[in-house]
Amino acid sequence: MRKVNTIENEKERNRIVEEGYKFIQKNHTHSVRAQQFINDVKDILK
């Protein structure tokens, strides 16, 4: 059985969690998805 690496430093773990949360909040919104959809449709219609 493989040993799974974990981040033992709580401060570093919390920093990674916070950065991930910020990334999701910035890049996974309805407006971002709508713009991606619009761009995809435009590319198809070219």
Check: pTM over 0.85? Answer yes or no: no
Residue 3 has a pLDDT of 53
Per-residue pLDDT tens digits for 1-46: 555 566 677 888 889 899 999 999 999 999 999 999 999 999 999 9
Q: Cα–Cα distance between 26 and 38 in angstroms, integer?
A: 18
Q: Cα–Cα distance between 21 and 33 in angstroms, integer?
A: 17
Q: Cα–Cα distance between 37 and 43 in angstroms, integer?
A: 10
For residues 13 and 7, the answer to whether their CB atoms sit within 8 Å is: yes
Residue 34 has a pLDDT of 95
